[in-house]
Amino acid sequence: MTVTTRFAPSPTGRLHVGNIRTALHNWLLARKEGGRFLLRIDDTDAERSEERFVDAIRADLDWLGLTPDGEVRQSERFALYEARFEELRSRGRIYPCYETAQELELKRKIQLGRGLPPVYDRAALKLTDAERAKLEAEGVRPHWRFKLAHDAPIGWDDLVQGHKAFDPRTMSDPVVRRADGSWLYMLPSAVDDIDLGVSHVVRGEDHVSNTALQLQMFEAMGAEPPHFAHSALLTGAEGKLSKRLGSLGVDHFREEGIEPEAVRALLARLGTSDPVEPFVEPEPLVAGFDFARFGRAPARFDEAELKGVNARIVHQLPFERVRDRLPAGMGEAEWLAVRPNLHTVAEAAEWWRVIEGPVDASVPEEDRGYLAEAAQAAGAIDWADDPWHALTGRLKERTGRKGRALFLPLRLALTGRAEGPDMAALLPLIGRERAVERLRA
């Protein structure tokens, strides 16, 4: 069996962090098993689907490095859904219903008021042919439901949640098609999974009840169902479901200077007992991916943790990976010198300004004489090898200073900052002429 997974977003908005995590899990499983990762655009809702969101989904996956092995669009597969629909209708597994939304809501309220589960009562199945003909003659167009079999419980072994079981008698027959002929999610998704050979459906635990319904659809269509894995939902840093998570997506991450490698590294391990590690390349994440390591409790997403992972990723990025995002004139030596002090690649520009100057330095009055001597020493030392240690060595010998008293005034005068990159790496980049000028100033 070729492992085939699919990520199936609706192009009615931008991907958020929960969507991204689902896409990543599907991609990791397919890569680990040498299988296929498909992008399925669920654009059956013509009114809400927009092409700009389709483009955005593709761009976001590309930025994350989650390249699909193929793409399909549900809007181009209506003939396939129609054929399956007619097949199931002819066998009595899909039936027409004529209640209005208001009538259904009234039934629901009555059931709830009596302490009963709000399950559709199948009143449409009791209509005679004459009654249905009368309704249609009056212009009432039916919506369509899939008839659940009530003869046995629905169960499966979920790769994350363990064994799941549902009593179909406590579930409403799901609507699969609206009165205007448009499709709802349930049936087209199952039809696609069969047609595309999807072996594993990987999605959030909010789809667990959908899976119970779709398992009967697979059976009704004579197909072996895929394996299912329902990941626990994400919560915010405050420990509860957060509306903010719905607004965090690739645009936000890019604005914050987050690297795609950091997003992958965090979301791949979130919800497991494994430590989050700053892997620049995805291979270790792929090799270690295992649904058995995921817990059932909600996974906590913390932007502060993501930023911490991001800094550790940035500290590993080679010059070639960031060249196009650095200030003009900044080369590999400058990048390697400042890289250990960065949280984002964009911060490199600040240190480039420090190297190039001028700097705004504020030095205590009692250090002015010391810095004048440092300027004289900087002009006299050999800059060919290790000017920082040559400079501090000479000043230590001449002034008797050591530790913070020796180093801090020099750093303040040379960079305008009390901390930063290793001065042994930074001073050669500043150069003799600028260093002497700053120390004299």
Task: Express each pLDDT in 161-220 by its tens digit.
Answer: 999 999 999 999 999 999 999 999 999 999 999 999 999 999 999 999 999 999 999 999
Across 98-212, where does the E strand assignment appear? 143-146, 154-158, 162-166, 175-177, 200-204
> How far is it, in rounded angstroms, from Cα 208 to Cα 228?
9
> How far is it, in rounded angstroms, from Cα 371 to Cα 379?
12
Do the bridges between strand 36-41 and strand 4-7 make them parallel or antiparallel, or are there none, so unpaired? parallel
> How far is it, in rounded angstroms, from Cα 345 to Cα 320?
13
Residue 14: closest CA among 40, 52, 65, 44: 52
pLDDT tens digits, residue range 333-354?
A: 999 999 999 999 999 999 999 9
Is the pLDDT at 238 greater than 80, yes or no?
Answer: no
Q: What is the mean pLDDT of residues 33-47?
A: 96
Banded pLDDT at 260 (limits 50, 70, 90): very high
Q: What is the mean pLDDT of residues 414-437?
A: 95
> How far is it, in rounded angstroms, from Cα 264 to Cα 286?
11
pLDDT tens digits, residue range 380-393?
A: 999 999 999 999 99
pLDDT tens digits, residue range 114-156?
A: 998 899 999 999 999 999 999 999 999 999 999 999 999 999 9
> How far is it, in rounded angstroms, from Cα 78 to Cα 229?
27
Tokens read off for 317: 């990025």
- The one-letter code for the residue type at 180 is D
DSSP-derived letter for residue 240 is S
Q: Quick one: pLDDT at residue 241?
A: 66
Q: What is the mean pLDDT of residues 63-75?
A: 97
As a CATH number, domain 365-440 is 1.10.10.350
Q: Quick one: pLDDT at residue 362?
A: 86
> How far is it, in rounded angstroms, from Cα 331 to Cα 260?
23
Q: Residue 142 in contact with residue 179, Cβ under 8 Å?
A: yes
Residue 146: closest CA among 225, 73, 212, 223: 212
Task: Give the lowest-confidence range in 29-43, 79-93, 112-126.
Answer: 112-126
Cis status, amide bond into 358, omega within 30 of 0: yes
- Of the CATH numbers 1.10.1160.10, 3.30.470.20, 3.40.630.10, 1.10.1740.10, which one belongs to the domain with range 243-314? 1.10.1160.10
Q: Quick one: pLDDT at residue 25?
A: 98
Q: Quick one: pLDDT at residue 113?
A: 93
Q: Quick one: pLDDT at residue 237?
A: 78
Position of tokens 């761009």?
Answer: 59
**At a CB cut-off of 8 Å and minimum separation 6, what does 47 contact?**
none
Mean pLDDT of the chain: 95
Residue 259: closest CA among 298, 221, 187, 308: 308
Is the pLDDT at 83 greater than 90, yes or no?
Answer: yes
Residue 381: closest CA among 440, 421, 427, 333: 427
Q: Quick one: pLDDT at residue 105?
A: 94
**Residue 107 known to bind ligand:** no
Is residue 70 helix, strand or coil? strand
Percent of the chain's residues with pLDDT above 70: 99
> How far is it, in rounded angstroms, from Cα 217 to Cα 149?
10
Q: Residue 313 in contact with residue 343, Cβ under 8 Å?
A: no
> How far is it, in rounded angstroms, from Cα 308 to Cα 215?
42
Number of other residues whose CB lies within 10 A of the CB of residue 263: 23
Is the pLDDT at 229 greater than 90, yes or no?
Answer: yes
Q: Quick one: pLDDT at residue 247?
A: 82
Order of all β-strands in the sheet with 4-7: 4-7, 36-41, 70-73
Q: What is the mean pLDDT of residues 89-115?
A: 95
> How far is it, in rounded angstroms, from Cα 97 to Cα 234?
37
Q: What is the mean pLDDT of residues 82-104?
A: 97
> How far is it, in rounded angstroms, from Cα 310 to Cα 305?
9
DSSP H helical ranges for 33-148: 51-64, 78-90, 101-113, 129-137
Q: Quick one: pLDDT at residue 283?
A: 98
Could you tell me the CA-to-CA distances from 433 to 88, 173, 356, 414, 438 in Å, in that order?
Answer: 83, 81, 11, 12, 9
Percent of the chain's residues with pLDDT above 90: 94
Residue 298: closest CA among 229, 241, 238: 241
Position of tokens 């960031």?
Answer: 322
Residue 22: closest CA among 291, 425, 310: 291
Q: Quick one: pLDDT at residue 245?
A: 84
Q: Residue 366 in contact with residue 409, Cβ under 8 Å?
A: no
Is the pLDDT at 240 greater than 70, yes or no?
Answer: no
Q: Residue 206 in contact with residue 233, Cβ under 8 Å?
A: yes
Banded pLDDT at 244 (limits 50, 70, 90): confident
Q: What are phi and psi of 157, to 5 degrees?
A: -95, 105
**Length of the chain counted residue by residue:** 441
- Of the CATH numbers 3.90.1150.10, 3.30.565.10, 3.20.20.150, 3.40.50.620, which one belongs to the domain with range 4-79+186-234? 3.40.50.620
Number of other residues whose CB lies within 10 A of the CB of residue 167: 11
Is the pLDDT at 12 greater than 90, yes or no?
Answer: yes
Q: Residue 297 in contact with residue 231, Cβ under 8 Å?
A: no
Q: What are phi and psi of 262, to 5 degrees?
A: -70, -40
Q: What is the mean pLDDT of residues 407-411?
A: 96
